[in-house]
Homo-oligomer: A and B are copies of this chain.
Amino acid sequence: MKTVGDLGEDPLIAQLCGGLAVSDEVLVGPGDDCAVIRDGRTLTLLKTDAVVEGIHFLPNAPAKKVGWKAVARVLSDFAAMGGEPGELLITIALSRETPLRWVKELYRGMSQCLELHGGVIVGGETTSLPAGAPTMISVAGRGKVTKRRLVTRSGGKAGDSVFVTGRLGGSIKGKHLSFTPRLEEVAWLTENFRLRAMMDLSDGLAKDLPRLAKMSGCGFQIERDQIPRSPGATIDEALSDGEDYELLFTISARSADRLEKEWSDRFPKLSLTCIGSLTTEESDSLSGGWDHFTSPS
């Protein structure tokens, strides 16, 4: 019998979404960082994202950091659409043996992230798990974006310059629990530039860049040695580790110079690197990156 592990994550999602009903109000459905719904003059972003013990965090990770991560992942997706956070719903699935203190710290981490970056918790759910089952925190929520600032994965054009923020690889050493969702950077970028396509890097550049290029109907070529690496990370790790939560975006080549200059004035502490371009031709091949159902455990 064929299992989800035989198929892999992207083909599974494609199969599941194939038969879904559609609605005129839904501007962007499954496949982008968020769904986008037309609500009169504004656009609503909808997103859900879960972290699971043993997959996204280790049992001994500090609860406050786990809470931060659970919320920051969703905020990072709002940023990736050009938007800002609104209201969030929190689902925590716990075994009865979970210390009360752990859950309180979890909420403290979530609240800290929201105080810094915006968004409020308006509800949620607690559910029990069979003894020994891994804790899971699922965060769903609503964000908003104006039409002018909306950036999807599918707007890239051949010839666009491809940029990434920050440095990639080695997130498992700590960044994956304490990263900053790039909301401030996105607010500035969408105010001052016309970004063509954007996503946040969660499964590794090797997995995510092909997704963006494919949705834009393009190929890509990158300079592997241009990829900005975290201290100590190899090029392969920068391509494949995942959980970078940095921005990957494209912009017309003629805007690229002005962007690089103004960026370094505005965000001197965060690197911005042009790693290549979108093409009409077949892509460079990239292997690696994280697939929930086929990557080695």
Point out the residues of chain B lying under 8 angstroms from A12, CB to CB: 100, 103, 126
A255-271 residues at the B interface, CB under 8 angstroms: none
Contacts of A30 in B (CB 8 A): 121-124
Please tell me if the beta carbons of B52 and A87 are within 8 angstroms of each other in the complex: no
Tell which of A18-26, A192-200, A221-229, A281-289 binds the partner: A18-26
Q: Of residues 40 to 55 in A, which have CB atoms within 8 Å of B's CB atoms?
A: 40, 44, 46-50, 52, 54-55
CA gap between A59 and B122 in the complex, in Å: 32
Q: How far is the CB of A274 from chain B (nearest CB, A)?
A: 30
Contact: A54 with B87, CB < 8 Å?
no
Q: Name the CB-closest residue of B to A294.
A: B96
A140 at the interface (CB under 8 A from B): yes
Interface residues of A in 150-198 (CB under 8 A from B): none
A-B contact pairs, 9 of them (CB 8 A): A3-B97, A4-B99, A4-B103, A25-B87, A46-B123, A47-B89, A50-B125, A54-B133, A129-B134
Question: Which interface class (under 10, 10 to 19, 20 to 34, 35 or more) fits A?
Answer: 35 or more
Chain A residues within 8 Å of B, Cβ to Cβ: 1-7, 9, 12-13, 15-17, 19-23, 25-26, 29-32, 34-35, 37, 39-40, 44, 46-50, 52, 54-56, 86-87, 89-91, 93-94, 96-101, 103-104, 107-108, 111, 114-115, 120-131, 133-134, 136, 138, 140-142, 292-294, 297
Closest chain-B Cβ to A222's Cβ sits at a distance in Å of 27
How many Å lie between the Cα of A30 and that of B93 in the bound state? 17
Q: Are B120 and A21 in contact (CB under 8 A)?
A: yes
Provide the bound-state CA to CA distance between A10 and B185, in Å.
Answer: 40
Q: Are B6 and A100 in contact (CB under 8 A)?
A: yes
Please give me the 5 A-B residue pairs with the lowest Cβ-Cβ distance, nearest first: A5-B96, A140-B140, A35-B122, A35-B123, A128-B292
In the bound complex, do residue A292 and residue B126 qualify as a contact, i.e. CB atoms below 8 Å apart?
Answer: yes
Q: In the complex, which residues of chain B have a beta carbon less than 8 angstroms from the beta carbon of A7?
A: 100
Known: A4-B94, A101-B1. A292 touches B127 (CB 8 A): yes
Given contacts A2-B101, A16-B103, A111-B20, contact A91 B123 (CB under 8 A): no
- Out of B13, B46, B121, name the residue touching A89 (CB < 8 Å): B46
Q: Is the CB of A22 within 8 A of B129?
A: no
A20 to B, closest residue via Cβ = B121
User: In the complex where A100-B2, A100-B7, A136-B93 touch, is A13 in contact with B126 (Cβ < 8 A)?
Assistant: yes
Q: Known A39-B39, A89-B140, A111-B19; judge A1-B99 contact (CB<8 A).
A: yes
Find chain B residues with CB under 8 A from A4 CB. Answer: 94, 96, 98-100, 103, 126
